[in-house]
A and B are shown apart, each in its own frame.
Chain A
Amino acid sequence: EVQLVESGGGLVQPGGSLRLSCAASGFTFSTYGMNWVRQAPGKGLEWVSYISRSSNSIIYADSVKGRFTISRDNAKNSLYLQMNSLRDEDTAVYFCAREPISVSGLDYWGQGSLVTVSS
């Protein structure tokens, strides 16, 4: 069974840092591109970042560029999102999501990890 489990969310002050993790199981992690997508409370979906299977392609949304860093460890079947210089508007549930073939949609999602940026 494919599973994606996020962790690392919590309450952080503006300007602070947080690192999210996404543990993958039930599939060959190294053969899939991965994304982070977030959803502010009561709002729609916003794509955050993408990393290719071998990490040779990494792309960010303009809203997080220069502040967030996506990475993966295929040996540990894990995806990460290092979030620095956090702002109030970064408050959201962060989902990791698998992308089986480029531009074919995100076919499996984690349950999400809530990040709250507040003083």
Chain B
Amino acid sequence: EIVLTQSPGTLSLSPGERATLSCRASQSVSSNYLVWYQQKPGQAPRLLIYGASSRATGIPDRFSGSGSGTDFTLTISRLEPEDFAVYYCQQYGNSPRLTFGGGTKVEIK
């Protein structure tokens, strides 16, 4: 089973700053199979990035994904007030079919 470790656990930043979130896999993951979500309190997750770097429909271009192998990154170029949330990476595997990372909370400094 591939384990996804997200870091840092919490990121304290100000609006306008750049956020860099890490997702590290315990084994190599195909870039095609790496996904990022955003979740706000009391809401369902929202698909941001699939295939490691492709933005989902309607996602602003300040969100970008990159990486390969075992190291993947979600970057928010300039934080907007609505971007403060928890972010999860997810990968597709054989067993289990989907695995989520533990999440990174981006909070207002």
Chain A positions near chain B (C-beta within 8 angstroms): 35, 37, 44-47, 50, 59, 61-62, 95, 97, 103-107, 109-112
The total of interchain contacts (Cβ-Cβ below 8 angstroms) comes to 60
Chain B positions near chain A (C-beta within 8 angstroms): 32-33, 35, 37, 39, 43-47, 49-51, 56-57, 88, 90, 92, 95-103
User: Which residues from A are CB-within-8-Å of B96?
Assistant: 47, 59, 61-62
User: Which residues from B are CB-within-8-Å of A104?
Assistant: 35, 50-51
Determine which of A44, A59, A105 lies in contact with B50 in the assembled complex, contact meaning CB atoms within 8 Å: A105
- Who on chain A is nearest to B6 by CB? A44
On whether A105 and B103 interact (CB within 8 A), knowing A35-B98, A62-B96, A111-B44, the answer reads: no
10 closest cross-chain pairs (CB), A and B: A109-B44, A47-B98, A105-B50, A105-B35, A45-B100, A103-B92, A105-B47, A107-B47, A59-B97, A104-B50
